[in-house]
Amino acid sequence: MWKDLLLRLKALIFRREMDEELKDELQFHMEMQARKNRGRDSELDAAEAKRQARLQFGSVARAEEECREARGIHFLETLAQDLRYGLRMLRKSPSFTAVAVATLAVAVGANAVVFGMMNALVLRPLNVPQGESLYLVERGNDHFPSQSYPDYLDLRDRNRSFDGLAACNIGQAGLDTGENTTPVLVFEASGNYFDELRLQPYLGRFFRASDEHGANSAPYVVLTYAYWHAHFQDDRGVVGRTVQLNKHPFTVVGVARPEFHGTMLFMFPDVFVPIVNQEQIDGANLLNARGNRWVLMTLGHLKDGVTRAQAVADLNSIGSYLEKTYPKDHDRVDFALAPPSLYGDYLERPTRAFLAGLMLLAGLILLAACANLGNLFAARAADRSREVALRLALGAARLRILRQLFTEALLLSVMGGALGLWGSVALLQAMSVWRPFPQFPIAIPVTPDAHVYGVALVLALASGFLFGAVPVRQVLRTDPYEIVKAGSVVKVGRRITVRDVLLGAQIAICAVLVTSSFVALRGLVRSLRGNFGFEVPNSMLAEADLHMAGYSDDAVPAMQKRMIEAMQTIPGVTAVASIDQAPLSNGRPNFSLVFREETAELTPGNAATESFVFNVSPGYFHAAGSALLTGRDFTWRDDKNAPRVAVVNEQLARAVFGSATNAVGRYYKMRDGTRVQVAGVVEQGKYTSLTEEPQAAMFLPVLQSPSNLIMVVVRAASDPLQLAAAIRSKMRELDAGMTPVIQTRSESMGFVLFGARMATMALGVLGAMGAMLSITGIFGLASYSVSKRKRELGIRMALGAQPKELLQAALGRALKLLAFGSSVGLVLGILASRVLGAIVYEATPRDPVVLAGVVLAMMLLGLVATWIPAQRALAIDPLILLREE
């Protein structure tokens, strides 16, 4: 094996010498033969003897070639030869090369980007030691991973499957380093969090389980590397310093390593605080609230040898214990495990489905590109049939010619793949540093790794083989004698060729892509104009956390009222009100069980429905633009001393009272047994996502149900953007320590629309790629057929054919293929678009605008693609043509 390789290498290195020697050897043979010939027949002169010797020998070139092959250098040497020849051929037709490389770069790039996202978001485990055995505990029935804190403690202490269970929650706080206060994203982590994740600190120490001694007992803070770097200028003396979080003193104990940013892939927290101190961050002590599932993540490493199924069974036995012991707080408790990085199945499932869909479409792009290039290659091989025939006639093996063609194909695919990979790496890196929501430390870390490079390379090579294989049959069937004799023959057959099938398939694929991007686009437009149960235009949202600003108890509602009154004085403002968590904005609204008045046992099983709870100020419905169907709005007299009232939405009224019309004046019960009278019924809206089923919602007067978080809805007569500065200065006037986030209402929906927007963008890009590919494909076929049939067209023209007939002859086939491919693609696209419904709100392909749009788009593509070939066909001058040939 090694010896063989060595011989081959030696042969390759001393190629020139060995070639010389071979020539010399054969020359000697020839001389001897000529000598013999003369010996037999002394009449022969020297030249004739030599000629006869050559005849007797046969093809010298062929013998040399076979000797080289026998010596084993053949493979490497021909590869080098083929590469040189291939490069020369590609250089000779730069436009062909450019088109092919660009097509491949786009197709491979698209695949690399989608795979890169899939790899980083779904396939790659969290970047912690032994991340693959780390699991998140989620509830089995709703696949939402949050638990209540007492439940977490039971899970932690009673399970036998995990090395340990850690928990964390996300909060926001104002961090005061002594100079100024900035809002920070806080991970409230259990004491064992860092130990269970098997992490080491970068500086100082992490807080541990032994630091926890009950509520607010561990005022320690761990900084992330990024925050330390940005706000403490890498000051190593920061350990031991005291900072203020929401005006409570905390001691900095350590800094985490640069690569660790919490256990949610897309969240970039600034600091970690022990979860037992959550009251100081969140404003209310939730450590004993068993019914409140506020702890976002419960996660840990499975013990060695414990399978996922065993762990789930173990957790479920704890679940049934919880059900039995605390029936007031639990309905049915079962558990499931999921990878933690995308917040369990809650985000992973849609992400995975979306990316899988994109993978499919990107794969189609690659297939279309291969079909396109296969077509180009077949046309090129046809153009080169003379060259091929000549080489065959000179004794080249067909295999050798095929190898040459494949080398060219692979050369192109490697160049295109490299270019595409380069582009996709740049794109992925740009995406990783992109902050889609300026006010939140959220990013999509999709930095590419070796897997991405590998996949791109494999895809490039595979597509090279795929489109390189198209002209194989053509070459194998080449008859050198015919072609050399007659010149290249164009058979104007009516038969359907491979190339027609390829182009038809390619157009169909592209039509699928164009259809899905139209469907997505239309869905997004609709979702922006849809009925959310409130008015989006001419409305601003100013968000402030009063707890963060140091307000508590009775100071909160008083401040809210002052803020609302201050906003009302701004010129141009028509209505102002507040809500704690505006529907379809960034946060998740509170949730509560609702019971009928007559229900005595307030257990989850007896609840009439679950409902979102919004705490609003008087005038909210008017300011938000939500229509009150019956009843009344709140007033400032609906305070603590007044009877408890609520405005409910249609869904809640239906679920509790049977209908929306007779609900006003009737009572229902909250979780804690409070009787609440319905003061009014408001129209149904969307609350957390555009695709949700109708959800129950109740609105409570803020004076009866106070909240620290406040979002002030400001409605203006005209463009509200001009008001932003005025709103900010009014807020500052009231309290200089407040750091409000001010957005238009539609900006505030960025979170909710993010998925739909990303989907639309991705599908739009893929659709554009598909359109581009079909243009190049049709253009290629049309211009090829025009150039091949120039003579025929010239004769037709000379015989008096009209331009219309001429175009029909030249382009009819391409246009027929376009029509056929488009209709197949349209039908397939409509079928495939059902998948989009889950992501894009109201994405329906059975929409005349979409159908008309796709048909129009494909027609336009056809027009663009055939324009130049048509011009060329019409510009044929029969006189010149006939004279030439």
Partner 1 sequence: MAEQSRLDLLQGTLDLLILRALRAGAMHGWAVSERIQQISQDVLEVNQGSLYPALHRLEHRGWIKAEWGVSEQGRRARFYSLTAAGRKQLEIEAENWDKLSAAIARVLRMA
Q: Say which DSSP state 123 is in.
A: I
What one-letter code names the amino acid at 12?
Answer: L
Whose Cβ is closer to partner 1: residue 18's or residue 215's? 18
Q: Say which DSSP state 497 is in.
A: P
Backbone angles phi and psi of 700, in degrees to 5: -110, 145
Minimal distance, residue 54 CB to partner 1, in Å: 10
Whose Cβ is closer to partner 1: residue 63's or residue 87's? 63
Token code pair at residue 672: 């804690």
Token code pair at residue 615: 């705490």
Whose Cβ is closer to partner 1: residue 74's or residue 139's? 74
Could you give the angle at which helices 750-788 and 345-383 cross, rounded to 10 degrees?
10
Whose Cβ is closer to partner 1: residue 73's or residue 549's? 73
Q: Say what the alpha-carbon torsion angle 517, 521, 523, 527 is, to the nearest 10 degrees.
A: 150
What one-letter code names the amino acid at 843?
Answer: A
Whose Cβ is closer to partner 1: residue 56's or residue 635's? 56
The angle subtended at Cα 405 by Cα 404 and Cα 407, nearest 5°, is: 65
The total number of residues written for the chain in this structure: 885
Whose Cβ is closer to partner 1: residue 32's or residue 462's? 32
Alpha carbon 468 to chain centroid, angstroms? 31
Minimal distance, residue 59 CB to partner 1, in Å: 6
Minimal distance, residue 52 CB to partner 1, in Å: 12
**Are the C-beta atoms of 763 and 512 separated by less than 8 Å?**
no
**Are the C-beta atoms of 546 and 676 separated by less than 8 Å?**
no
Whose Cβ is closer to partner 1: residue 11's or residue 442's? 11
Whose Cβ is closer to partner 1: residue 61's or residue 353's? 61
Minimal distance, residue 41 CB to partner 1, in Å: 16
Place of tokens 């229509």: 627
Surface-to-core class of residue 216, CB atoms within 10 Å of its CB (0-12 exposed, 13-18 middle, 19+ buried) = middle
Helix (H, G, I), strand (E, B) or coil at 737: coil
Whose Cβ is closer to partner 1: residue 32's or residue 725's? 32
Minimal distance, residue 82 CB to partner 1, in Å: 21
What one-letter code names the amino acid at 336?
Answer: A
What one-letter code names the amino acid at 500?
Answer: D
**Are the C-beta atoms of 275 and 169 separated by less than 8 Å?**
yes
Whose Cβ is closer to partner 1: residue 59's or residue 722's? 59
Whose Cβ is closer to partner 1: residue 20's or residue 565's? 20
Whose Cβ is closer to partner 1: residue 71's or residue 872's? 71
Helix (H, G, I), strand (E, B) or coil at 610: strand
- Find, among 615, 589, 585, 609, the residue nearest to 690 by Cα: 585
Minimal distance, residue 18 CB to partner 1, in Å: 10
Q: Which residues contact 25 (CB under 8 A, 6 or more apart)?
A: none
Whose Cβ is closer to partner 1: residue 18's or residue 859's? 18
Backbone angles phi and psi of 339, in degrees to 5: -65, 140
- Find, among 104, 155, 569, the residue nearest to 372 by Cα: 104
Minimal distance, residue 4 CB to partner 1, in Å: 9
Surface-to-core class of residue 36, CB atoms within 10 Å of its CB (0-12 exposed, 13-18 middle, 19+ buried) = middle
Whose Cβ is closer to partner 1: residue 32's or residue 79's? 32
Q: Measure the CA–CA gap between 649 and 684, rounded to whole angstroms.
A: 6
- Find, among 340, 309, 298, 279, the residue nearest to 158 by Cα: 298
Whose Cβ is closer to partner 1: residue 70's or residue 736's? 70
Q: Which residues bind partner 1 (CB under 8 A)?
A: 7, 21-22, 24-26, 28-29, 31-33, 35-36, 56-59, 62-63, 66-67, 69-72
Torsion over CA: 681, 685, 688, 694 (sign): positive
Minimal distance, residue 8 CB to partner 1, in Å: 9
Distances (CA, A) of 606 to 599, 602, 647: 7, 6, 22
Minimal distance, residue 814 CB to partner 1, in Å: 49
Minimal distance, residue 81 CB to partner 1, in Å: 18
What one-letter code names the amino acid at 407?
Answer: T
Minimal distance, residue 50 CB to partner 1, in Å: 14
Minimal distance, residue 11 CB to partner 1, in Å: 9
Q: Which residues contact 433 (CB under 8 A, 6 or more apart)?
A: 443
Strands 181-189 and 271-274: parallel
Minimal distance, residue 460 CB to partner 1, in Å: 35
Minimal distance, residue 21 CB to partner 1, in Å: 7
Minimal distance, residue 42 CB to partner 1, in Å: 18
Helix (H) or strand (E) holding 135: strand 134-139
